[in-house]
Amino acid sequence: MSILEIIAIIFTLSCVYLTSNKNIWCWPVGIVSIIAFFLLYIREELYIQTVIQVIFLLQSIYGWYIWSKSDKQEFKISDKDTLRILKDLIGVIFSAGIIGFMLESSAESSMPYLDALSSMLCLLATYYLFNKYIQSWLIWMSVNALLFGMFLYQGLYLLSGLEIILFIISFNAYISWKKDLKTVSA
């Protein structure tokens, strides 16, 4: 267990908790975890995850901006069209396949296809999150399951445990946001 893992875990848990409670401070807290993960992934040779952290940083800055422009009293959760979600997921799988192939043939990535798939799903989930789509939490649960396996394989047991906790928080956030969505729809 390294200091990077501890920082990443504490700030990630805080970020996801704040996000599930629709608190704008999730974005700056998330930025701290992004920096810690960036450094950790470099060390663990998870190259796509490393690059993704830079994109997450940009997404977090944008998400912070978008959420700061929202009406403070009203946090509107949306439901994304199923056909659009399927198109997005096909794009994610296609992109992950290409990136995984490139990693497999040109770098010493330990899990090129899982690294690419989990990274692309993270990008989609974050995009859905700053647009307040309830499906972001379903995608996050999938990401948590994938990363659990990857981290377990890498011997990053603390991060594997984190993914279990994040899965539970994501599940609870989905249920909570679903109730809010029903309230708005009614």
According to DSSP, the residues that pair with 133 across neighbouring strands are 78
Give the count of beta carbons closer than 10 Å to the beta carbon of residue 67. Answer: 20
Residue 38 has pLDDT above 70, yes or no: yes
Q: Any idea which of 12-16, 89-93, 126-130, 170-174 has the lowest mean pLDDT? A: 126-130
pLDDT digits (tens, 9 = 90+) for 6-27: 898 899 999 999 988 889 999 9
Q: Percentage of the chain with pLDDT > 90?
A: 46
pLDDT digits (tens, 9 = 90+) for 95-145: 999 989 988 877 666 788 988 899 899 999 989 988 889 999 999 999 999
Euclidean distance between CA atoms 102 and 112, whole angstroms: 8
Structure tokens at 151: 């981290």
pTM for the structure as a whole: 0.82
Residue 61 has pLDDT above 70, yes or no: yes
- Asked whether 44 and 156 are in contact (CB, 8 A), the reply is yes
pLDDT band at 182 (very low <50, low <70, confident <90, very high): confident
Euclidean distance between CA atoms 74 and 15, whole angstroms: 20
pLDDT of residue 22: 84
23: helix, strand or coil:
coil
Report how far apart, in Å, the C-alpha atoms of 146 and of each of 4, 115, 132, 140, 153 are.
Answer: 21, 9, 23, 10, 11
pLDDT band at 70 (very low <50, low <70, confident <90, very high): confident
pLDDT band at 186 (very low <50, low <70, confident <90, very high): low
Residue 66 has pLDDT above 70, yes or no: yes
Largest CA distance in the chain: 53
Residue 73 has pLDDT above 60, yes or no: no
pLDDT of residue 111: 82
Question: Domain limits of the chain?
Answer: 3-185
Report how far apart, in Å, the C-alpha atoms of 22 and of each of 17, 107, 118, 120 are.
Answer: 9, 39, 24, 24
pLDDT of residue 74: 64
pLDDT of residue 144: 96
User: How far apart, in Å, do the first and last CA atoms of the chain sit?
Assistant: 48
